[in-house]
Amino acid sequence: MRYHTVVAEMGPSRLEASQRLAGNLLRLARLRRGLTQRQLADLASVPQSTIGRIETYRQQPTLPLLAKLLAAADLELRTRIEDYDRHDDVLDAELARMSEAQRRRLRRAQDRFAAAR
């Protein structure tokens, strides 16, 4: 068996996305089922504060806990392993070349786009 000697390092965008993944998945699952945090907590037999901490990125759940929460919403987490894609790293480099004013304009445009969906 041969191992790669170079390990990919996540750029800032990918790192931030991975840190927010569980919270975003949980919020999406909850909203998809039309549940409040309290309702999901009751279905999963966990404190509502646990749901709140996960959704606000203050707590990273274990995979078994995340699976339990998703199952309470009648959903399941499916994963697969893929080759590393440097797309976000390219975007991070482009963002780093922008001025602060350009980054603010970009964030406002992204917020408007997200709000319109």
Q: In whole angstroms, give the CA distance from residue 46 to residue 117.
A: 31
**Cα 11–4–87 angle (5° rounding)?**
30
Q: pLDDT for 40-77, tens place per residue?
A: 999 999 999 999 999 999 999 999 999 999 999 999 99
- Residue at token pair 């499916």: 78
What does the DSSP 8-state code read for residue 20? H
Chain CA centroid to CA 12, Å: 14
Residue extents of the structural domains in the chain: 1-81, 85-117
- Nearest Cα neighbor of 57 from 17, 20, 13 is 20
Residue 110 is encoded by which pair of tokens?
A: 């992204």
* pLDDT band for position 20 (cuts 50, 70, 90): confident
**DSSP codes of every residue in 42-59:** HHHTS-HHHHHHHHTTS-
Superfamily of domain 1-81: lambda repressor-like DNA-binding domains (1.10.260.40)
pLDDT at res. 117: 66
- Please, are residues 92 and 12 in contact by the beta-carbon 8 Å criterion? yes
Q: In whole angstroms, give the CA distance from residue 47 to residue 18.
A: 24
* 7 pLDDT more than 80: no
